[in-house]
Structure 1
Amino acid sequence: MALIKSVRGYTPEIGKNCFLADNCTIIGDVVMGDDCSIWFNTVLRGDVNSIKIGNRVNIQDGSVLHTLYQKSTIEIGDDVSIGHNVTIHGAKIHDFALIGMGAVVMDDAEVGEGALVAAGSVVLSRTKIGPNELWGGAPAKFIKMVDPEQSKEINRKIAKNYLMYSTWYDAELENRIETEAERDAEQK
């Protein structure tokens, strides 16, 4: 079961139909929309400031989201995909953006609608990535523009896929409960 912990009077708010992996951690001032998935070993640490997550967001395995005390917050729009082992620290990520595996996005950076941050990139503090731009490298630099419709479609598909993946775990749990119930009935 996911670790959901209150701190400083804030209790995480989880939307409808969200998948929370067994060992993810969600702490404090975190508000999550509907149809999100938070995967294994992911930490959403809203202890020092707020983390707001839109609808149909997937935050993949090993990612860490945190902020600066009284200085930065995290805002993530709808249909955003955050790859494995990403660190987001006090940044704003707009709708349909994709943050590639192992990327780092620092305080007060902003990733525009439909933008892509390449795997392994480091987006420095206060960097503004425009809509539908592809950035990569360490530090991240502009590479090229991406087709807005293609970018939206890719992220809709990824979000839909991650929702589908999460149902596999729900089905496993239901099967385990049914098996345990059958075994208990046989023992009686």
Structure 2
Amino acid sequence: MNPEMTLPFGGETPVFASRPVWCGRDSTVIGSARIGAQAWLGDAAVIRADGQPVVLGDRFWLGHRSTVHIATFDQGTICGDRVTVGRNSVIHACTLGSDVVVEDDVVILDGASVGDGAVIEAGATVFPRAELAGGFAYAGSPARPVRPIELGEVAERAERIRERSAEGIGPDSDPPQDIDPDVFVARTARLRGRVGLGAGASVLFCCALEAEAGPIVVGADTNIQDNTVIRSRGEGVVIGRDTTIAHNVRIADCRIGARSLIGIGAVVAPGTLIADDVMLAAGATTDPGQILESGYLWGGRPARILSPLDADRRTMMLRIVESYCQHGRDYRQAQEQLAG
């Protein structure tokens, strides 16, 4: 069984050491990915190596709606053998050893390293460049060691994650057929209801935009990255132009301004108002009705001001938007060639 969608990127095509044991519905593998024997990919699992390599060892297990990605300009992702990743987690531009368990709703960020035989417990965030020694269980945001752990318990935790795999992610609706030619919507993304996408916007792989009540409106040149879920069950969701919504974000009825960045794995609660020029850190959450003022980096659970949004961060945010506009054009062309 092969992934439902495989795309080249930059002339590189994914390579599997052997045919995967299982590839779930909408599973997607892209670019310079090298994946070991006996891989298992859940529903809406995404491995995206578009700009740097992803190297995954034997018996790699990626749970439903989880994402493996790279830092486009400078760092790939490497995992050892027998790595198990639960649901809705993100492995991003980092290095994991062998016999590592990453539970549900975990974010591991750029430059981090995790040693052999470690467990990252559900809901934890591993901060950029953190070095986590093997043989411990880690929890919290930032992830900190909570106790030593033996390989036998690591294997038991991995097995519990794998036992839940039969649950899947449930049915999704089909994407709309009348997408503007300046917009990229991945074939594995799912849009339902009144969804408006501005020129140059991109909705990447395995995202779900569900306008059950009010509309979802996405501004021009805004990118919605892999496995993000946006649901409107009330007044709707409005996202301004030139904004980045990173991997595996959860967004309910809210307003997000222009030129903002919502970090990996963040959760934006109903009624949140995020002003223009805001960065919300990876793994952060907002409270219902919270207002995030312009010009700051916000982080934490619930989010609080961490620092002013300096020139370097603003430049980085603009660079991401420009990069994803190009990604959208490249992916649209590759997807059209695949369909042809």
Matches within 5 A, 1:107-126: 107-126=270-289
Aligned 8 A contact 2:200 2:222 in 1 = yes
Report the AA paired with residue 243 of structure 2.
V
Distance 2:217 2:335 in 1: 28
CA-CA distance at 1:16 after TM superposition: 4.4
Give the C-alpha shift of residue 173 in structure 1: 4.2
CA contact (8 A) 1:15 1:35 kept: no
Q: Which runs of 5+ in 1 are unaligned?
A: 6-11, 181-188
User: 1:167 Cα shift?
Assistant: 2.8
Q: Tell me, in whole angstroms, the C-alpha distance in 1 between the residues paired with 2:181 and 2:334.
A: 20
Choose the corresponding residue for 2:250, options 82, 87, 95.
Answer: 87
Aligned to 1:28: 193
Partner of 2:324: 162
Going by fraction, where is helix more abundant, 1 or 2? Answer: 1
Whether the 8 Å contact between 2:237 and 2:255 is mirrored in structure 1 is yes
Is 72-81 or 161-170 further displaced after alignment?
161-170
Alignment map for 1:1-188 (pairs within 5 Å): 3-5=174-176, 14-69=179-234, 72-147=235-310, 150-173=312-335, 175-176=337-338
CA distance in 1 between counterparts of 2:231 and 2:271 reads 12
So what's the TM-score if we normalise by structure 1? Answer: 0.81
TM-score for the superposition, normalised by structure 2:
0.46
Q: Which one-letter code corresponds to 2:320 in the other structure? A: I
Q: CA deviation at 1:38?
A: 0.3
Contact 1:132 / 1:151 at 8 angstroms: preserved in 2? no
Unaligned runs of 5+ in 2: 6-172
> What's the CA shift string for 1:124-163, capped at 9, x where partnerless?
111100111111111111111113x555533332121112
Between the aligned partners of 1:107 and 1:76, the Cα distance in structure 2 is: 14
Query: What are the Cα deviations for residues 62-107 of structure 1, in whole angstroms up to 9, with x where unaligned?
Result: 00111223xx311100100000000110110000010000000011
Going from structure 1 to structure 2, the CA distance change for 1:84 and 1:46 (only over 3 Å counts) comes to: same
Residues 139 and 158 (structure 1), Cα distance of their counterparts in 2 relative to 1, 3 Å cut: same
* 176 and 134 in structure 1: CA distance in 2 versus 1, 3 angstrom threshold: closer
**Residues 13 and 31 in structure 1, CA contact (< 8 A), matched pair in contact too:** no
Q: CA shift at 1:172, angstroms?
A: 2.8
Q: Work out the number of aligned pairs and report it.
A: 169
Query: Which has more radius of gyration?
Result: 2
**What amino acid is the match of 2:315?**
E
1:183 maps to what in 2?
A: none
What is the distance in 1 between the residues matched to 2:217 and 2:337? 33
Measured after TM superposition, the shift of residue 13 of structure 1 is 7.3
Which structure is richer in relative contact order (CA contacts within 8 A, separation 6 or more)? 1
Amino acid corresponding to residue 27 of structure 1 in structure 2: R
- Looking at structure 2, the residues matched to 115 and 56 of structure 1 have their Cα atoms a distance apart, in angstroms, of 17
1:48 positional shift: 1.7
Question: Secondary structure of 1:23's match?
Answer: coil
User: Are the structure 2 counterparts of residues 125 and 173 from structure 1 closer, same or farther at C-alpha, using a change threshold of 3 Å?
Assistant: closer
Question: Aligned partners of 1:49 and 1:172: how far apart in 2?
Answer: 33
Q: RMSD between aligned alpha carbons?
A: 2.3
Paired with 1:107 and 1:150, the residues of 2 have a C-alpha distance of 30
**Alpha-carbon distance in 2 for matches of 1:175, 1:48:** 35
1:122 counterpart letter in structure 2: T
1:4 Cα shift?
2.4
User: 1:128, 1:143 → 2: CA distance?
Assistant: 15
Q: Which amino acid aligns with 1:95?
A: A
